[in-house]
Amino acid sequence: MYLADYHTHTRCSFDSQAALLDEAAQALSLGLKELCTTDHCDLLDEHGGRVAGLDWAPILEQYAQAAAAFEGRLKLRLGLELGEAPVDPELARGILAGAPLDFVIGSIHNMSPRAGGEDFYYLPLTDAAACYAVLDDYFASLLELVKLTDTYDVLGHVIYPLRYMSGASNGPVTLDRYQDQLRALFTAAAQAGRGIEVNTCRGQTLDEWLPVLELYRACGGEIVTVGTDAHTAQDIGKGIQEAQALLRQAGFRYQAVFCRRIPQFIRL
Ligand SMILES: [Zn+2]
Ligand SMILES: [Zn+2]
Q: Which ligand lies nearest the alpha carbon of 227? A: 2
Residue 247 has pLDDT above 90, yes or no: yes
Give the tens place of pLDDT for each residue, 249-268.
999 999 999 999 999 999 99
What is the distance between the alpha carbons of residues 40 and 42, in angstroms, rounded to a whole number?
A: 6
172's CB contacts (< 8 A; 6+ apart) are 166
Residue 254 CA to ligand 1 center (angstroms) comes to 23
State the pLDDT at residue 195: 98
Residue 89 CA to ligand 1 center (angstroms) comes to 18
Residue 109 CA to ligand 2 center (angstroms) comes to 9
What is the distance between the alpha carbons of residues 177 and 175, in angstroms, rounded to a whole number?
A: 6
Give the tens place of pLDDT for each residue, 139-164.
999 999 999 999 999 999 999 999 89
Query: Among the listed ranges 55-59, 68-72, 203-207, which one has the minimum average pLDDT value?
Result: 203-207
Give the per-residue SS3 of the chain.
CCCEECCECCCCCCCCCCCHHHHHHHHHHCCCCEEEEEEEEECECCECCECCCCCCHHHHHHHHHHHHHCCCCCEEEEEEEEECHHHCHHHHHHHHCCCCCCEEEEECCECCHHHCCEEHHHCCCCEHHHHHHHHHHHHHHHHHHCCCHHHCCEECCCCHHHHHCCCCECCCCCCHHHHHHHHHHHHHHHHCCCEEEEECCCCCCHHHHHHHHHHHHHCCCCCEEEECCECCHHHCCCCHHHHHHHHHHCCCCEEEEEECCEEEEEEC
Residue 231 CA to ligand 2 center (angstroms) comes to 8
What's the mean pLDDT when you consider all of the chain?
Answer: 96
The band of 214, judged by pLDDT with boundaries at 50, 70 and 90, is very high
Residue 13 CA to ligand 2 center (angstroms) comes to 9
Residue 204 CA to ligand 2 center (angstroms) comes to 14
Identify the structural domains of the chain with CATH numbers, from first to last. 4-267 (3.20.20.140)
The band of 167, judged by pLDDT with boundaries at 50, 70 and 90, is confident
Residue 142 CA to ligand 1 center (angstroms) comes to 13
Give the tens place of pLDDT for each residue, 38-51.
999 999 999 999 99
